[in-house]
Amino acid sequence: MVKFVGIAGSLRPGSYSQRALELTGDRLRALGAEVELLDLREMNLPLCHGGDDYPGYPDVERLRRAFSDADGLVLVTPEYHGSVSGVLKNALDLMSFDQLGGKVAGLISILGGQANSNALNDLRTILRWVHAWVVPEQVAIGQAWQVFDDGGKLTDAKLSQRLDGLAQSLYDNTRKLRGLA
Amino acid sequence: MVKFVGIAGSLRPGSYSQRALELTGDRLRALGAEVELLDLREMNLPLCHGGDDYPGYPDVERLRRAFSDADGLVLVTPEYHGSVSGVLKNALDLMSFDQLGGKVAGLISILGGQANSNALNDLRTILRWVHAWVVPEQVAIGQAWQVFDDGGKLTDAKLSQRLDGLAQSLYDNTRKLRGLA
Amino acid sequence: MVKFVGIAGSLRPGSYSQRALELTGDRLRALGAEVELLDLREMNLPLCHGGDDYPGYPDVERLRRAFSDADGLVLVTPEYHGSVSGVLKNALDLMSFDQLGGKVAGLISILGGQANSNALNDLRTILRWVHAWVVPEQVAIGQAWQVFDDGGKLTDAKLSQRLDGLAQSLYDNTRKLRGLA
Amino acid sequence: MVKFVGIAGSLRPGSYSQRALELTGDRLRALGAEVELLDLREMNLPLCHGGDDYPGYPDVERLRRAFSDADGLVLVTPEYHGSVSGVLKNALDLMSFDQLGGKVAGLISILGGQANSNALNDLRTILRWVHAWVVPEQVAIGQAWQVFDDGGKLTDAKLSQRLDGLAQSLYDNTRKLRGLA
């Protein structure tokens, strides 16, 4: 069985990034995957100091173990200042090739304004750097405040289809690349 | 008088990023600038939650005020996973156009391995996003463990000259762009 | 008097890139600048072979001389495959630091679909590489087929204002950076 | 049988990009692949005008057919002005999703000076844009003038191993992703 782990790089209460993560997790589960979603708002992660050990922060180990165990990754970032949030980058900085290398990732970004691909492009390069794969499909959700309903579903059919496509590609190609197909 | 503020995105004790920041600060002061260097290792900054207010974290206000008061910026980042450190990005995420827009920045990256421009490229795009200027000169310091002596000076003459060039360009062009020349 | 040269990286008859270039040229002239716009569709430029000499192609020299004489640059590119057009990159490849270094550039991209910043980001990095400046203001014109009227003017007031802002910043800051203010 | 097509974006006689392409082609053939290498120096390709038809340029159709028939791609670019050569970008501009989508690519860059990843990063984003895959392994060959011997072989053992790794990953993962494994 193919396993995914997902995180969203926003600590905002009511975060749209977290909602998009949950929608993607639902789709992957519906396809037959095992999915673990971590909520960074409920974890106590330190700022990365470049070393390996973070005594007093058991959530670092929890993060690393979840990523180690996964075949594929779902990463959602709010686009802050035209790039990945520091929150998400810091979580990735706390990990290394050991947890990230060889994994297959699907990427989503959330923007308050018009959609753009800056954060997705940067995240794609970052993941390449740790020798992860990134599926070609990606979703940038612009003007996020108006595309989610109260239940956290996407009201925009086109975006919803793009999320379907991302989940399907991530599921299928993770299985192929990880030899689980 | 032209004023600069500088930060380095590494929390490592003995950080080369911090040394490079200090060397750049020295050069700017020698040219006649007023320079304030903040040490993120001695500040207590929270992870950005996307909002404006961080009660209980007076260092957020200290960071913002130092950047508000400056004409120019020196930003040094270790290259982690082929991009800006989460530590530096998070510090930038805690600020906005109010503190960063219209400023003139000089960029330096520090790498354990071979030099590369990934983090510098990403940082350049990020600063554009907040409508800051970035001088064309930039310095990537590869294999940083072997180019600093015990006193924190650069032992590589070519790198030292590049740092001179960066400081000179940053000083001259900040004065021009800020109408202080 | 401050001098600008502009090119657009589209060879399409009726090119929106060329129209955006002309609109920007008009604005710069209205501000008091001298402007020379080259039309790549009417020039005979070879594919760059990495050397300096292109016997039989006098337009290479014409291109280089126009850029040499300029203080500032206007570069417009259609976004092809999420980046700068080969046509524009090839024109830039035919030049070097001699023509491009120290110049101040304003960037515009044209897209058939939704606006995006990919080509602008890549172009910004390219210009840094030849030690040119790029003003923070930039304009991505999405769905270009519906924002120009028959006379080649922009029908979208917001885009038109952004183009005004780009031209103003380019004019003001080229003068500052080139010591003409 | 898995099929690859390769092109190099340099028109220079004695091009190192072309040599790197040939070395990669040899490795892929040794692994059991069918490989077609096109030499852009011997093809007559026009500058892309954004349309589909290029009467008088049969090599456009030859290029497109070779890419259509391939499962995987080898793309080599000299790094010009910190990015992909206009020659290579123009060749890609002459194609579309029809020829490029769903393919699996391996990327190599050639530099006269110190190695850097700018062109590779840009090329990765470009290929994503046409929904191609890019393997995580990539090779930037710096100071190319001193790492090839007279027979066109790499004299640097580490680079040679990296090229082996790229070819192996490209071969294995193209088979997996294309359902040929």
A116-169: per-residue pLDDT in tens? 999 999 999 999 999 999 999 999 999 999 999 988 899 999 999 999 999 999
**DSSP string computed for D27-46:** HHHHTT-EEEE--GGGS--P
**What is the residue-averaged pLDDT of chain B?**
97
Tell the residue number behind the tokens 């959530």, with chain if given: A59
C95-117: per-residue pLDDT in tens? 999 999 999 999 999 999 999 99
D35-83: per-residue pLDDT in tens? 999 999 999 999 999 999 999 999 999 999 999 999 999 999 999 999 9
Surface of D (146-175) touching A: CB under 8 A: 173
CATH superfamily label, B3-177: Flavodoxin domain (3.40.50.360)
Mutate to test the interface with C, among A83, A111, A116 (most CBs of C within 10 A): A116
Tell me whether A134 touches chain D (CB under 8 Å): yes
pLDDT in tens, chain A (181 residues): 999 999 999 999 999 999 999 999 999 999 999 999 999 999 999 999 999 999 999 999 999 999 999 999 999 999 999 999 999 999 999 999 999 999 999 999 999 999 999 999 999 999 999 999 999 999 999 999 999 998 889 999 999 999 999 999 999 999 999 999 8
Q: Using a CB-CB distance cutoff of 8 angstroms, which residues of chain A are in contact with residue D173?
A: 177
D114, D115, D121: residue with CB nearest B118: D121
Tell the residue number behind the tokens 């030049």, with chain if given: C95
Work out the average pLDDT over B161-171.
Answer: 98
**Encoded amino acid at A82, one letter:** G
Distance (Å, whole) CA C43 – CA C48: 14
Looking at the complex, report in whole angstroms how far the Cα of residue B30 sits from the nearest Cα belonging to chain A. 31
Q: Are A68 and A98 in contact (CB under 8 A)?
A: yes
**Encoded amino acid at A44, one letter:** N
**Phi and psi (nearest 5°) for D83?**
-160, -175
CA distances for A84 relative to A120, A130, B80, C84, angstroms: 8, 16, 13, 23
HSE on the CB side for A53, CA within 13 Å? 1
Work out the average pLDDT over C74-80.
Answer: 98
Tell me whether B137 touches chain C (CB under 8 Å): yes
Q: Using a CB-CB distance cutoff of 8 angstroms, which residues of chain B are in contact with residue D116?
A: 115-117
Q: Using a CB-CB distance cutoff of 8 angstroms, which residues of chain D are in contact with residue C116?
A: none
Distance (Å, whole) CA D20 – CA D144: 10
Work out the average pLDDT over B54-60.
Answer: 97
**Encoded amino acid at D72, one letter:** G
Secondary structure (H, E, C), chain C: CCEEEEEECCCCCCCHHHHHHHHHHHHHHHCCCEEEECCHHHCCCCCCCCCCCCCCCHHHHHHHHHHHHCCEEEEEEECECCECCHHHHHHHHCCCHHHHCCCEEEEEEECCCCCCCHHHHHHHHHHHHCCCEEEEEEEEECCHHHCECCCCCECCHHHHHHHHHHHHHHHHHHHHHCCCC
Q: Using a CB-CB distance cutoff of 8 angstroms, which residues of chain B are in contact with residue A92?
A: 81, 86
Chains in contact with B via at least 3 Cβ–Cβ pairs below 8 Å: A, C, D
D80-98: per-residue pLDDT in tens? 999 999 999 999 999 999 9
Which pLDDT score is estimated for C181?
A: 85
pLDDT classification of B30: cutoffs 50, 70, 90: very high
> Number of A:D CB contacts under 8 A?
32
Which pLDDT score is estimated for C151?
A: 87
C12, C86, C92: residue with CB nearest D90: C86
ipTM over 0.85: yes
CA distances for B102 relative to B105, B134, C100, C113, angstroms: 10, 10, 24, 31
Q: Are D175 and D28 in contact (CB under 8 A)?
A: no
C129-162: per-residue pLDDT in tens? 999 999 999 999 999 999 999 888 999 999 999 9
Q: Using a CB-CB distance cutoff of 8 angstroms, which residues of chain C are in contact with residue A121?
A: 118, 121
Tell me whether A113 touches chain C (CB under 8 Å): no
C3-12: per-residue pLDDT in tens? 999 999 999 9
Looking at the complex, report in whole angstroms how far the Cα of residue C179 sits from the nearest Cα belonging to chain D. 26
Q: Is the pLDDT of residue B181 over 90?
A: no
- Domains of chain D, residue spans: 3-177
CA distances for B52 relative to A121, B6, B55, B57, angstroms: 27, 22, 10, 12
CB contact under 8 A, B87 and A125: no
Which pLDDT score is estimated for D62?
A: 98
Q: Is the pLDDT of residue D148 over 90?
A: yes
Mutate to test the interface with D, among B111, B118, B139 (most CBs of D within 10 A): B118
CB contact under 8 A, C117 and A115: no
How much is the pTM? Answer: 0.97
Helix (H) or strand (E) holding A104: strand A104-110
Tell the residue number behind the tokens 């690519």, with chain if given: D105
CB contact under 8 A, C116 and A116: yes
CB contact under 8 A, D47 and C81: no
CB contact under 8 A, A177 and D179: no
Which pLDDT score is estimated for A181?
A: 85
Tell me whether D130 touches chain B (CB under 8 Å): no
Q: Is the pLDDT of residue B76 over 90?
A: yes
CA distances for A21 relative to B136, C124, D64, D127, angstroms: 38, 32, 38, 25
CB contact under 8 A, D82 and C128: yes
Which pLDDT score is estimated for B60?
A: 98
Q: Using a CB-CB distance cutoff of 8 angstroms, which residues of chain A are in contact with residue C115?
A: 114, 116
Work out the average pLDDT over B9-34.
Answer: 97
Which pLDDT score is estimated for D151?
A: 87
Mutate to test the interface with C, among B83, B128, B162, B170 (most CBs of C within 10 A): B128
- Give the percent of chain C with pLDDT over 90: 98
Q: Using a CB-CB distance cutoff of 8 angstroms, which residues of chain D are in contact with residue B117?
A: 82, 116-118
Residue of B nearest to D120 (CA): B118
CB contact under 8 A, D83 and C125: yes
Which pLDDT score is estimated for D117?
A: 97
Q: Using a CB-CB distance cutoff of 8 angstroms, which residues of chain D are in contact with residue C129?
A: 81-83, 118
Distance (Å, whole) CA B26 – CA C106: 33
Mutate to test the interface with A, among C116, C125, C156 (most CBs of A within 10 A): C116
